[in-house]
Structure 1
């Protein structure tokens, strides 16, 4: 059985990639997981996996740096959200890639390539100079990470869903979880609103309460109840979201 390790600093992303790989390549055995590049290098030395799935951006030793250290000891598969400048370069080389979030159809293409490489005679399947390929990619991959979150990883029952932020109507927190509400479904995450407020585009999401963020494009209007509280009406939703006094200034222009 072919073996692999997964390296990504986000646990939910590791879980999702493991789940997707199991769907499209059930024979592949995931023998280890790493949270950063240093752990990935150590696991490759210890477990000698056939494949190493590396997130490009990780704290400490990045996926790029880890790949240089791993060299030809394992077939490198980069996991990246930055396809605009990376995919073309990957296509030209022997290094494969998986786009975030990993979709079964696209992942299946990568799996077929990897199966062919592993099945080929060793001399024929030997990867070219990984260091040289990485040097060619380094400048394109080194672009800064997007300033704001582009999607949210959330649990719906036993499933993990990648939700584009523009599809989210609002976030609302309680003591343990934050509800992620879209037009079609509700999901839960553990990240509190105060952290989300720092990571989301403030021109798209307004914090209207210490426990609530609302998508500006989902606001239908603002009303007041009998107690004088200001409430945001959300398009297509029955619930109304309370506005704290300290955030009322956001609606003076409306």
Structure 2
């Protein structure tokens, strides 16, 4: 009998999708204050994800380790410095200062825009550097911590509805844009001379906004991770559980 009950529950979940946990706020698309409600709902959901919600396919967003194939390469060792950045982690995504969310319906798709503002975000990465810096030869692998100060992350998801017993959304396109007001670098062991290492970090951080131009394209690299996570969630939770109306 217990096995039969479990099978029935499994079939109900498979056919109808999961219900949202009580901590997730449900908004009514027919109301004029829908986007305000949606902003609060997304803010609350992000805060909850200090811990993963595995049943819904949602990992913890507090400390995110990106896939090993996320790699940024810059420069050339023959004419300067070749830099290879790997093993990315971002810490603090569940600590937004504020979130503004908006759902714009269209004839074929819906566009969900989430603008998340943070006091800071910390990124950990491993840097492999080979070449020269002001005539100093370098051939090192070092941890690097860089801090985005007052960053705004804008996620855009293009959502298409489809029917699988009940209506679901799926992400068919997405983008991530990152804006910052400051950027600080902490190369842990770039130079063996500790004083030189400290001074280099200070000088490089002073020109952080100029250096950010080199990293401006990272949104296109990290965006697919959030695309995949959100799509996995939408596959499990039908539209009727996300919104009224």
Same fold (TM over 0.5): no
Larger helix share, 1 or 2: 1
Relative to the length of structure 2, the TM-score reads 0.24
Higher relative contact order (CA 8 A, sep 6+): 2
Larger strand share, 1 or 2: 2
